[in-house]
Amino acid sequence: MCCKPNYQRVGLLERYKEFLPITDKTPALSLMEGSTPLIPLTKISAKISPNITLYAKFEGMNPTGSFKDRGMVMAIANAVEIGSKAVICASTGNTAASAAAYSARAGLTCGVILPAGEVALGKVSQSMMHGAKVIAIDGNFDDALTIVKEITQKYPITMVNSLNPYRIEGQKTGAFEICDTLGEAPTYHAIPVGNAGNITAYWKGYKEYFEKGIIDRLPKMIGFQAAGSAPIVEGHPILEPNTIATAIRIGNPASWKKAEAARDESMGLIEKVTDEEITEAQKLLASTEGVFCEPASAASVAGVIKKAKEGFFKEKCSIVCILTGHGLKDPQRAMAICDPFINAKNDLDEVAKILNLK
């Protein structure tokens, strides 16, 4: 008997090569990214509505702990193919970590521009460990992206932010995996929105599967921004975006128009959730489902909970929430929102007492 294909043993460029811009010269770059689990969220769906079958696509299970690896493997492979020696990105942390890891593997020099003091600890440590040149500017993500756009016009260095179309190509594979697992598209696709590359990429992926006849319906795209950083919802750039979800602290998304197109073509929505709603969803996921995601990721679940309370999901439906990054990316935030741990003497009786065992 022959074994079934094990997708965890091939990376994305191999798994979805016929859908990707791959040529004879594209290097076979991989850290075994993709093929992330689609986890049923039975506790949360039971709590919010009997109509909803809820899933989390846990992108924190990618090699650097976020969805960025899908697009980065494609962008770095292309950079090698076109002969680049160096790449650069602006980042709230995850793009940087991913760019740094794939650059290390591919032998490229990597520069990352971060907003000083606004990037979660785990992400900065990854960029440093992978040997990127880490530059923290005295400005926000939008300022960092402006520098990257200008520097890549002037100097021979390749941008690997999601304005690079190869990033979007790689990231669209998330939509393929969801459909391959469910055998169809979900009714709703819930996703956090920051710079808006991911909602753009997922919508592209679903449309490609639909056009090829692999799925026979498209999902409604429901995107969620953090209330203090919700330019698309407010209809204008936010000069000083603010939220505890630092990954999506972005005031002027690069793919703004494409996110609106995904929303409108799919008859979906883009709304905002508060930091409190995000924190509550993050805790609920960790404490009742066993899934630890970072704050920005929990915006997708927070949004679904909010819309369910409003009675938005009237009929039986399936919803996939994208959990974009792992909770370990931002341990400081996690510690801050939990009860403190208990210090005790090195003594069995005392420990038993604390555990209510005696």
Residue keyed to tokens 């040529």: 23
Question: Cα separation of 38 and 35, whole Å?
Answer: 9
Q: Which is nearer to ligand F0G, 193 or 304 (CB)?
A: 193
| Piece of the chain touching ligand F0G by CB under 6 A; list 9-17, 100-108, 196-204, 236-244 | 196-204
Question: Cα separation of 262 and 32, whole Å?
Answer: 29
Within a 10 A sphere around the Cβ of 311, how many other Cβ atoms?
8
**Looking only at residues 301 through 340 of this chain, which bind ligand F0G when binding is defined by CB under 6 A?**
324-325
Asked whether position 99 contacts ligand F0G by CB under 6 A, the answer is no
| Piece of the chain touching ligand F0G by CB under 6 A; list 11-19, 85-93, 146-154, 206-214 | 85-93
Token reading at 69: 């690896």
Binding mask 32-71 for ligand F0G (x = CB under 6 A): ----------------------------------x-x---
Min dist CB 198 to ligand F0G, Å, is 3
Q: Which is nearer to ligand F0G, 151 or 317 (CB)?
A: 151
User: CB under 8 Å to 250, separation ≥6 — which residues?
Assistant: 92, 141, 142, 194, 195, 229, 231, 241
Contact 254, 208 (CB under 8 A): no
Q: What DSSP designation does 249 have?
A: -
Min dist CB 123 to ligand F0G, Å, is 7
Asked whether position 229 contacts ligand F0G by CB under 6 A, the answer is no
| Piece of the chain touching ligand F0G by CB under 6 A; list 73-81, 182-190, 271-279, 289-297 | 289-297
Min dist CB 236 to ligand F0G, Å, is 18
Min dist CB 127 to ligand F0G, Å, is 11
Min dist CB 141 to ligand F0G, Å, is 6
Q: What is the DSSP string of 65-124?
A: SBTHHHHHHHHHHHHHHTT-SEEEEE-SSHHHHHHHHHHHHHT-EEEEEEETT-S-HHHH
**Choice from 31, 294, 319, 333 touching ligand F0G (CB under 6 A):** 294
Contact 103, 130 (CB under 8 A): yes
Q: Which is nearer to ligand F0G, 101 or 248 (CB)?
A: 248
**Choice from 30, 103, 198, 229 touching ligand F0G (CB under 6 A):** 198
Distances from the Cα of 107 to the Cα of 28, 61, 63, 72, 357, angstroms: 13, 24, 17, 14, 55
Binding site for ligand F0G (CB under 6 A): 66, 68, 91-95, 162, 192-198, 247-248, 294, 296-297, 324-325
